[in-house]
């Protein structure tokens, strides 16, 4: 087979605005097991959106956007259903920014597949999805080019991703992009392990070519910025897809406030979609009850949903979308704040809050 025979059918993103699942999800609340959990998670998300004081943080892990979930998050950003995003790098750079550059993900398969042949054809595989490695290299290089254009200093990943948004504002071939719309809506995106993706390749190239003066990515600054948001927001709810660093990072922010001397409430709402098993002791699978021992998550409005994300995430978000709790909600534009007062919000100035 030739390369074009593998890369034929593009992944299409699901559009939650088309499916009114409200009654079905509510009826699932009278069943048991995962159906009831899914239903309760939908209701908690809707409650978060109706709670005007509550800042909603979305955490993303797993190959979600290559799997067709990009438009779900795009619609959440555009409808003020989320205020802050914390993500793995692959979702934001290799998948969202990549598609904004005009590239696509393709439907593939995993049974009887010859991965060595794929490699020779420059095709990367994610389970049942194919990607053109040559396209990805252009994505890497674009990151390098953006880095080359910036003043050499430490950036938070959030600042760098805003620069990606600015770049897309001018050059996007596909405007249905979370990076772009988050930039326009002032929704900060944090990627605490920013080098661990296509961005890493671009930045390594940038630093390799500019050994003395270069852009660096300061993950401590990321954590400080998110901590500042928590201090400003006070009440927060988290909607977690998968676990990993984004989950941990976001839960930890409550403790960080405490370390800085701010006694703030735990995350008031928390839902997580995951298939990870609690018994392996990893963070991804640790229960939200366990997080409450650490002072991170309140246990009154929390729900874990045991499901793979491509099924559960569209259903929970479609429920909340059609339920309409977001309609009276305004965007909080935390990016604007971080770029202005929030920038100098520190030990000295915090008393003015």
Q: Is residue 237 within 8 Å of residue 269, measured between CB atoms?
A: yes
Q: How far apart are CA 122 and CA 124, in angstroms?
A: 7
Site string for a copy of itself, 37-56 (x = CB under 8 A): -x------------------
Q: Exposed, middle or buried by CB within 10 Å (0-12, 13-18, 19+), for 178?
A: buried
Site string for a copy of itself, 137-176 (x = CB under 8 A): x--x-------------x----------------------
Question: Minimum distance from CB of 132 to a copy of itself (Å)?
Answer: 12
Nearer to a copy of itself, 185 or 206 (CB): 206
**Residue 106: its H or E element:** strand 106-107
Nearer to a copy of itself, 30 or 151 (CB): 30
**Which residues 77-96 are close enough to bind a copy of itself by CB under 8 A?**
88, 90
**Which residues 295-324 are close enough to bind a copy of itself by CB under 8 A?**
295, 299, 306-312, 314-315
Site string for a copy of itself, 13-32 (x = CB under 8 A): xxx--xx-x-xx--xx-xxx
Considering only 49-57, 77-85, 132-140, 232-240, which stretch makes contact with a copy of itself by CB under 8 A? 132-140
Residue 257: which of 224, 285, 281 has the closest Cα?
Answer: 224
Site string for a copy of itself, 212-251 (x = CB under 8 A): ---xxxxxxxxxx--x--------------x-xx--xx--
The strand pair at 154-155 and 55-60 is best described as unpaired
**Which residues 60-79 are close enough to bind a copy of itself by CB under 8 A?**
61-63, 66-69
Structure tokens at 119: 């490699």
Q: How far apart are CA 353 and CA 84, in angstroms?
A: 20
Interface pick for a copy of itself out of 128, 265, 324, 328 (rule CB under 8 A): 128
Residue 194: which of 123, 249, 241, 149 has the closest Cα?
Answer: 249
Q: Is residue 285 within 8 Å of residue 278, measured between CB atoms?
A: yes
Q: Exposed, middle or buried by CB within 10 Å (0-12, 13-18, 19+), for 263?
A: exposed
Q: Is 134 in the site for a copy of itself (CB under 8 A)?
A: no
Question: Minimum distance from CB of 209 to a copy of itself (Å)?
Answer: 6
């Amino acid at each position: 087979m030739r390369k074009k025979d593998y890369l034929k059918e593009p992944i299409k993103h699901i559009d939650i605005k088309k499916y009114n699942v409200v009654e079905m999800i509510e009826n699932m609340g009278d069943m048991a097991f995962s159906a009831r959990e899914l239903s309760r998670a939908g209701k908690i998300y809707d409650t978060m959106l109706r709670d005007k004081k509550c800042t909603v943080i979305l955490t993303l892990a797993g190959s979600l956007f290559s799997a067709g979930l990009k438009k779900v998050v795009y619609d959440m950003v555009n409808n003020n259903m989320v205020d802050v995003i914390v993500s793995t790098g692959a979702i934001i750079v290799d998948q969202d920014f990549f598609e904004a550059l005009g590239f696509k993900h393709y439907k593939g398969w995993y049974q009887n597949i010859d991965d060595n042949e794929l490699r020779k054809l420059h095709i990367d595989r994610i389970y049942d999805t194919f990607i053109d490695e040559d396209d990805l290299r252009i994505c890497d290089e674009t990151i390098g080019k953006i880095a080359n254009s910036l003043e050499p200093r430490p950036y938070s990943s959030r600042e760098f991703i805003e620069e990606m948004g600015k770049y897309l504002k001018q050059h996007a071939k596909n405007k249905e992009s979370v990076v772009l719309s988050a930039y326009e809506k002032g929704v900060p995106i944090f990627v605490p392990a920013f080098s661990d993706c296509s961005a890493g390749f671009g930045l390594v190239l940038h630093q390799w070519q500019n050994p003395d003066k270069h852009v660096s990515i300061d993950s401590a600054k990321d954590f400080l910025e998110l901590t500042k948001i928590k201090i400003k927001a006070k009440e927060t709810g988290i909607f977690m897809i998968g676990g990993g660093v984004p989950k941990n990072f976001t839960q930890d922010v409550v403790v960080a406030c405490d370390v800085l001397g701010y006694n703030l409430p735990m995350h008031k709402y928390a839902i997580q979609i995951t298939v990870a098993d609690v018994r392996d002791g990893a963070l991804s699978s640790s229960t939200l009850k366990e997080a409450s021992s650490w002072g991170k998550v309140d246990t009154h409005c929390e729900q874990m949903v045991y499901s793979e994300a491509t099924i559960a995430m569209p259903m929970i978000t479609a429920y909340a979308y059609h339920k309409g709790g977001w309609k009276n909600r305004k965007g909080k534009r935390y990016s604007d704040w971080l770029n202005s007062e929030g920038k100098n919000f520190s030990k000295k100035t915090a008393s003015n809050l």
